[in-house]
Structure 1
Amino acid sequence: MTNYVTSTDGTSIAYDRLGSGPNVILVGGGLDDGRENEPLAAWLATDFSVFNYARRGRGRSGDTPPYAVERELEDLEALLAEAGGTAHLFGASSGGALALRAAAAGLPVDRIAVYDVPYCLDDETYRRAQEYVTKVGPAVAEGRLDDALELFLWLAGSAPEEIHAMKAGPYWPAMREVAHTLAAEAACLGDHRPPKELAAITRPVLAIDSGQSAGSPGMAGLPKDFFAVAADAIADLVPQAERRTLADHGHVGAPDVLGPVLKGFFH
């Protein structure tokens, strides 16, 4: 990412801008430094001016302590200004929760699409989320990033043997590089349930789920309908909401499947 915008607190936020047309800002989720959305950005760039950014503390973006969710909203506000004042938002996973909070806070966004937002509606995953919040902050503060990663994967439904295999695999070092953001990521989700403030969103929202969780690699510990129930809850709260399920799709949406859905909604 070679472009930068300065947030309200002076933090430099890195982004790529591709294509031309209506503005779309892509908001990444946990452990993503912006690279996860690169294929989707390239697909959308045939019809849109796409801003794909690295959230603060990730990739080439700076980080100014102390962390607060409000600072991330200011980052989005700076990107919106850079885009000319308004843009559609697409948020993946916990990035969807951040996009919804931005809309609820009254940022000048147009349409908002979110994908697989990990709100915890059932009692067991909610209990796990509360336990995770109490443990991940101290792990990050004490520099125990491997522990923080293990906690995150446990929350995401990974079995112990899957976590062990991932620790020995080639992607662990890259995940560890952004593991220091996990406590901040948890803050974006609040108490891990859809906030009542979503009812204040006045813009159209598309709540998408991947149609998967149970039996999926790394997510076998989640309820079968985990993401679908969360998307339903979002749609129930937001006045102008639509629902869409991509049957048996991945938690990281393939551009040729997710892209046409977003294109149709944003147009």
Structure 2
Amino acid sequence: MQTITSADGTSIAYETDGDGPPLVLLHGGGTRRYWEPFVPRFSDDFTVVRPDRRGRGDSGDGDEYDIGREVEDARAVVDAVAGDPILFGHSFGGLQALEAARDAPVQAVIAYEPAYLVGDYRKRANLASRMQAQLENGNRREAMKLHLEEVIHGGEIDELDRWLEEWPAWPEYAEHVENAARMDRALEDHQLSETLDVDAPALLLTGSEGPSHLRESVRAVHDALPESRLLEFDGVGHLGPTEAPERIATELRRFLEETEAADPTIEGEQI
């Protein structure tokens, strides 16, 4: 494990595997361990870099929180690696990757269901306040259940507790509930720019079973990017990079190999 110092002095921890051009993986919830099923598919050909987001894993935290600080953390990782990296982010990490790529030198940026809130959903979003009410009553696990139900399942799942019993990350995932609540509040206040001025090839990914608000979001991001390709994975949900790592790794490699010849206007392919 190594550490770097972000713009506000926060220590950001990261782990590297393999050898080759840098591939930075930015997680959403949890920690850098989220990417463990994905790393072996790239570590033979890339230096795979996995940071912990601030306040999670082995990273430090600051006195104040906003999305801009998390973007600065990603930029600090970009500056720390040798060469211009490829950024691949999942969920909040997808937003983090896209925002960092606006003024950081990157070879390409890839985002799976980046966590922008758009349209009517953003106007009525109240997940953070619902979570805060549970936290104030001492119900940390119930607060995290609200987050998981909304973010992973779009608020539409029968027998959430049964699903959680079969999910390996539970109940340890609830340790991050305060960070999840502050992130959700910041996302509710964050506005997607009409244009994301990213000067690098961009690949946007979604799953047919992902939450409807994030499937709407990824299409809004596609419209905001000057050059992007959008792919949808049939039968895959919001946890796509760990749910179907081989399928997603195959498409990432294809994108990286074809980037120079890719038609940036391709939209809505389903695979």
Is the 1:88–1:266 Cα contact (8 Å) retained in structure 2?
A: no
Q: Percent identity?
A: 31
Aligned pairs for 1:59-208 within 5 A = 59-84=57-82, 86-104=84-102, 106-121=103-118, 123=120, 125-126=121-122, 130-137=125-132, 144-156=139-151, 157-159=154-156, 162-165=159-162, 171-186=169-184, 189-191=187-189, 195-196=192-193, 198-208=195-205
RMSD: 2.7
Residue 77 to residue 140, structure 1, CA distance change in 2 (3 Å): farther
Is the 2:32–2:57 Cα contact (8 Å) retained in structure 1?
A: yes
Is the 1:126–1:192 Cα contact (8 Å) retained in structure 2?
A: no
Residue 41 to residue 197, structure 1, CA distance change in 2 (3 Å): farther
- Alignment partner of 1:259 is 2:258: no
Residue 230 to residue 138, structure 1, CA distance change in 2 (3 Å): same
SS at match of 1:117: coil
Distance 2:81 2:254 in 1: 21
Counterpart selection for 1:209 from 187, 206, 220 = 206
Distance 1:55 1:122 in 2: 27
Distance 1:182 1:204 in 2: 30
Q: CA deviation at 1:16?
A: 1.3
- Matching residue of 1:216: none
Q: CA deviation at 1:33?
A: 0.8
- Matching residue of 1:233: 220
Distance 1:24 1:56 in 2: 19
- Matching residue of 2:267: none
Aligned residues between the structures: 251
Distance 1:66 1:24 in 2: 29
Q: CA deviation at 1:140?
A: 5.3
| Cα-to-partner distance string for 1:104-125 (whole Å, 9 max, x where unaligned) | 3x122221101122444463x4
Structure 2 unaligned residues grouped into runs of 5+: 258-271
Q: TM-score, normalised by structure 1?
A: 0.81
| Cα-to-partner distance string for 1:217-255 (whole Å, 9 max, x where unaligned) | xxxxx44xx544322211111001111112112422222
Q: CA deviation at 1:133?
A: 3.1
Q: CA deviation at 1:10?
A: 2.7
Q: TM-score, normalised by structure 2?
A: 0.80
Structure 1 unaligned residues grouped into runs of 5+: 214-221
Q: CA deviation at 1:151?
A: 2.3
- Matching residue of 2:40: 42
Distance 1:118 1:247 in 2: 20
